[in-house]
Amino acid sequence: MNAKVTIHDVARLSGVSIKTVSRVLNREPNVKADTRDRVQEAVASLNYRPNISARSLAGSKAYLIGVFFDNPSPAYVTDVQLGAIGRCRTEGYHLIVEPLDSAGDVEEQVAPMLATLRMDGVILTPPVCDDARVLAVLDAEGVPYVRLSPDKDLDRSAYVRMDDVAAAYEMTAHLIKLGHKDIAFIKGHPDHGAAHLRYDGYAKAMAEHGLAVRDDRVAQGYFSFRSGFEAAEVLLAGEDRPTAIFASNDDMALGVMAVANRLRLNVPETLSVAGFDDTPGAKVVWPQLTTVRQPIQAMAAAAADLLLSGAARVDEGSSPPSRLLDFDLVVRESTGPAV
Amino acid sequence: MNAKVTIHDVARLSGVSIKTVSRVLNREPNVKADTRDRVQEAVASLNYRPNISARSLAGSKAYLIGVFFDNPSPAYVTDVQLGAIGRCRTEGYHLIVEPLDSAGDVEEQVAPMLATLRMDGVILTPPVCDDARVLAVLDAEGVPYVRLSPDKDLDRSAYVRMDDVAAAYEMTAHLIKLGHKDIAFIKGHPDHGAAHLRYDGYAKAMAEHGLAVRDDRVAQGYFSFRSGFEAAEVLLAGEDRPTAIFASNDDMALGVMAVANRLRLNVPETLSVAGFDDTPGAKVVWPQLTTVRQPIQAMAAAAADLLLSGAARVDEGSSPPSRLLDFDLVVRESTGPAV
DNA sequence: GGTCGCCTTGACAAGGTTGTCATGGCCTGT
DNA sequence: ACAGGCCATGACAACCTTGTCAAGGCGACC
């Protein structure tokens, strides 16, 4: 384990100039196959690894991809990291994570880090992906970025998202197919774009199946357990109850389950409950929650791919690329036939 | 936002040599207060940020701290990152996250990354912190590291951990104070060091309060929801039931709650349930879980501190430093007076 | 008054890689 | 046989900062 093997050592051993070694390493053309092999042999035998600092100082790339987030669910962050790493590692890139505090002075947090690190690209998760201040700094520094599930300003940059409308539609259709006609819905936080899309999917499915959406069957939630709990208390009060509740995320669905449990309503015999997101909590309640799984890892991998392939770079004129990924309807035990 | 402000620009503007600017930036001594001010003014007005690549190429530091993990709970990973960042950011360090696949060839994953990145230190989370192969590579490369809650080989490196024995002791004492005498315990995964420590704390508390630990009141679990569920099915079968169950992590405690729920045993009226770890799931069940909170963020911050302060560097002879942090007993609704 | 030593500063090299440009060999077309 | 062009390769500068060492200024001490 000699601490410092440099490109010069490799060049000496394989009898070529350092530039040729560089060419081999970077898979540049114009190297004889014979020479290439000799260099690669030397690299292997010396266990040589190019020094990333020198590399990024000399060249343009930093071999770093940033992941910015601000306090979303831990499971989400972890999945994003895993998905992004998968794509990055094969190309010698590394992931730098930067929690942001949107409540504070984000420019002050982002600008210096961008200037110092000169990352090759950044992946933005909600809610940071809709923070105009962050986007402005990135644009100013000329750092390409991809947004995950962005809400507004879709033309502004490359992005990756899931089809929330279709997913909510399918979940609603699933409930309808089980015989439910009286399906309540708990909306998500109004500031969150996905909240509206999910409601749209629900409303569309109801309409297309000839079912009415009663006003008193739609409750406002805020994506939190507590808000789901409170919404359910209202929805389930009295005798005139819906036979199913579709909460537009899992935390709220768990709130619904807690209320049902308290009221001694059997799930799914008396009440079907559906969630959205497939958080870890969904498998940890009993009965386990029927929900929609976002392909977070795949989305992050797609984002990394857009960055590494260079597709995310803003070209004047052409609109930035985007990817729309498939979701999974995860049917577990919390939904069943209507009574 | 001029893309490239270098140290030369600052030097020119403030009328000193680049070396003096460097001295000011690195808070080196031997700069007149007057000069220092002038330089800082120039830095501010040009909005200059030193280039990290050049910096680490010229100097010895890379300004990067690695965080290695292998598939622990997302909440844990996120907390570690937040805790570490807090300490790193003020000193201009950044966090590089590297998920490892312990099942595969870890050397192949770690060695190249260490050689290319030359990080200044690494934080290891369980179970990676007990992987001899990873430690060997780190030692060979001479990269200082701090382990979080390590299990074995405590003298080998700097580490930070929580007092699991004391925490389990206090939780048990809490139940005893509520009047419980027949307290069951669900053990954790036998390969996980904390599992034994937690059991020891429970056993010690029982013994010191003159309570017997019946063999059939101790069940083997594996830290998973399912294993907790199955253990509870056995513990709660029949009429001769314990009045409280202390599961040595939250996932298992949630399994216990699910069984209690199914058997229509009211928590906490008929059965008290206690967990350990304060995972997000603990607040999402009803009633909310009484548990022990590990100060993960504080532990990660302490680890970062050991690294940045240089204390983690292995000195010949002297044993590596360690920190033992306090825990919090989080009393919620799942524990109550004994019947 | 001279010497010593400390504080402050600057000139220059070093650090490892990539980019630019030049060089020489070989092939192609005439 | 020769001009022109392409391929393979190398020499050297550039990237930006820190480390080393030397030098100048100034006060203190003998």
Would you say A326 and A295 are in contact if contact means Cβ atoms under 8 Å apart?
yes
- Nearest residue to B279 via CA among A284, A295, A270, A248: A284
Asked if strand D contacts A115 at the CB level, meaning under 7 A, the answer is no
pLDDT in tens, B162-212: 999 999 999 999 999 999 999 999 999 987 778 999 999 999 999 999 999
In the structure, how far is the CA atom of residue A34 from the C1' atom of nucleotide C23, in angstroms? 21
Beta pairing, strands A291-293 & B291-293? unpaired
Domain boundaries, chain B: 7-50, 64-162+296-325, 164-294
Give the one of B56, B112, B280 whose C-beta lies nearest to A53's C-beta.
B56
Q: Which residues lie across from A162 on neighbouring strands?
A: A325
- pLDDT of B73 reads 79
pLDDT tens digits for range B102-137: 888 999 889 888 888 889 999 999 889 999 999 999
| Shortest-distance nucleotide from A5 CA to C1' | C16
**CA to C1' distance (Å), from A24 to C28:** 28
Distance from the A257 Cα atom to the nearest Cα atom in chain B, whole angstroms: 9
Find out whether A188 and A223 touch, Cβ atoms under 8 Å. yes
Q: Give the CA count within 13 Å in the CB-facing half-sphere of A95.
A: 29
Task: Please determine, for residue B72, whether its predicted confidence score (pLDDT) is greater than 80.
Answer: no
Write the CATH number of the domain with boundaries B164-294.
3.40.50.2300
- The residue count for chain B: 339
- What are the strands of the beta sheet with A272-274, ordered from one edge? A218-220, A183-187, A244-247, A272-274
> Chain-wide mean pLDDT for chain B?
91
Contact across the interface for B113 and A95, Cβ inside 8 Å: no
Nearest nt by C1' to B53 Cα: D16
Structure tokens at A120: 């090759």
Same fold for the domain at B64-162+296-325 and the one at B164-294? yes
- Residue A2 DSSP one-character state: -
DSSP code per residue over A58-86: HSS---EEEEEE-S--HHHHHHHHHHHHH
Q: What is the pLDDT of residue B5?
A: 86
Nucleotides of chain D in contact with protein CB (under 7 A) are 7-20
Q: Report the C-alpha gap between A212 and B102 in whole angstroms.
A: 53
Alpha-carbon distance A77 to nearest alpha carbon in chain B (angstroms): 7
- Distance, angstroms, CA A18 to C1' C19? 13
What does pLDDT average to in each consecutive run of 10 residues of chain A (339 residues)?
77 90 88 89 90 88 92 85 91 92 89 89 91 92 92 88 94 97 95 88 97 96 94 95 96 95 93 93 89 94 93 72 93 93
Residues in contact with B67: Cβ distance below 8 Å, sequence separation at least 6, in sequence order:
B80, B81, B84, B95, B96, B97, B98, B122, B123, B125
A306, A308, A311, A313: CA torsion to nearest 10:
110
Per the CB < 8 A criterion, the answer to whether B116 and A49 are in contact is yes
- CATH top class, domain B64-162+296-325: alpha beta
B309 interfaces chain A, CB cutoff of 8 Å:
no
Q: Report the residue count for chain A.
A: 339
Between these two residues, B220 and B116, which has the higher pLDDT value? B220
Which nt sits closest to B59, CA to C1'? Answer: D18
Q: Of all protein residues, which has its CA closest to the C1' atom of C13?
A: B58
Bridge partners of A124, per DSSP, are: A68, A147
Q: Is the pLDDT of residue B1 over 50?
A: no
Which distant-in-sequence residues (6+ apart) come within 8 Å of A68 by Cβ? A98, A100, A110, A122, A123, A124, A125, A128, A134
Is strand C less than 7 A from the beta carbon of A47?
Answer: no
Q: Which of A51, A118, A257 sits opposite B116 (nearest CB)?
A: A51
Helices assigned H by DSSP within chain B: 7-14, 18-25, 33-46, 52-58, 74-89, 106-117, 132-141, 164-177, 193-208, 225-235, 250-262, 296-308
Fold annotation for B7-50:
434 Repressor (Amino-terminal Domain) (1.10.260)
Tell which phi-psi region holds residue A30, choosing left (phi > 0), alpha (psi between -120 and 50) or beta: left
d(CA B95, CA A56): 18
B24 has a pLDDT exceeding 80: yes
CB B271 within 8 A of CB B335: no
In this prediction, what percent of chain B has a pLDDT beyond 90?
63
The pLDDT score that the predictor gives to residue A80 is 94
Q: Within the 84-123 window of chain B, which residues sit less than 8 Å (CB to CB) from chain A?
A: 85, 92, 94-99, 112-113, 115-118
Contact A73, A276 (CB under 8 A): no
**Strand order, beta sheet including B244-247:** B218-220, B183-187, B244-247, B272-274
Which residues does chain A have within 8 Å of residue B50's beta carbon, measured at their own beta carbons? Answer: 116
